Amino acid sequence: MDQNRIKRNKLLSERIIKGLESRNMEGYYAETKEEALAKALEWIPEGSSISWGGSMSVNEIGLKNTVCEGNYTVYNRDTAQGPEEKRKMELAAYDCDYFLTSANAITEDGVMVNIDGMANRVSAIAAGPRNVLMIIGMNKVVKDVDNAMSRARNEAAPINAQRFGLDTPCAKTGSCFDCKSPDTICCQILITRFSKKPKRIKVILVNEELGF
Ligand code: SF4
């Protein structure tokens, strides 16, 4: 990465972390995926119960694989044998110590926007898990909430809709048409602007392109 961009992203991350702290959340800036993984493992004590919402960023820094192989209790709904076990794991996720996820966008002053189809991810961010750990690449930083909403619906959603082969206007055109398609992944939209419980939400910003 260009040295000037490295410098700019570091300065911007300081502003975002101040914004997060002013909102009762905690932030850390990692230059690399490896540093992000090390910080995540420093924050999550061994023996913790862990679950996650769909997130490429969590995968891309190697966090999901590491906790699956480590000394943690993992609730992974992808391994469920049938719908009943899947539901049990989804409910168990609300009582876990650490819920791992990302955000569709984060503003320069520390507000996060997430869209969701099944809403397991946004509901767990809002309440339930004792801690929420978000891994967010600097490619997801935007100026304000309007831009965060636009990024979520015109960039993240179309790519995710294509990824899952969904029948939505954004999958066909690459842009949001505010659909009411049965396949829509915009059933619930969460704006996270303050944490009632101090430091429940922790964010690791990563100076790499992660997720969509
Ligand atoms: S509302 Fe519909 S068209 Fe818009 S981003 Fe969501 S799924 Fe795509």
pLDDT in tens, 50-81: 999 889 999 999 999 999 999 999 999 888 89
Task: Say what the pTM is.
Answer: 0.96
Q: What tokens does 121 get?
A: 């991810």
pLDDT of residue 54: 84
**Mean pLDDT computed over 166-190:** 97
Question: Residue 141: which H helix or E strand, with range?
Answer: strand 141-142
Distance 153 CA to ligand 1 centre (A): 6
Q: Which of 181, 183, 188, 190 to mutate for ligand 1's pocket (most ligand atoms within 8 Å of CB)?
A: 181
Residue nearest to atom 4 of ligand 1 (CA): 176
Long-range contacts of 46-49 (CB under 8 A, 24+ apart): 46/70, 46/71, 46/72, 47/71, 47/72, 47/73, 48/72, 48/73, 48/96, 48/97, 48/98, 49/73, 49/74, 49/75, 49/92, 49/95, 49/96, 49/97, 49/98
**Mean pLDDT computed over 13-23:** 98
- pLDDT-above-70 percentage for the chain: 100
Q: Which domains does the chain have, with CATH numbers?
A: 3-110+117-140+194-206 (3.40.50.10420)
Rg, Å, the chain Cα set: 17
pLDDT of residue 78: 86
Distance 184 CA to ligand 1 centre (A): 6
pLDDT of residue 1: 83
Q: Which of 115, 118, 176 to mutate for ligand 1's pocket (most ligand atoms within 8 Å of CB)?
A: 176
pLDDT of residue 99: 98
How many helices and strands, by DSSP H and E, does the chain display?
9, 10
Higher pLDDT, 176 or 53: 176
Per-chain mean pLDDT for the chain: 96
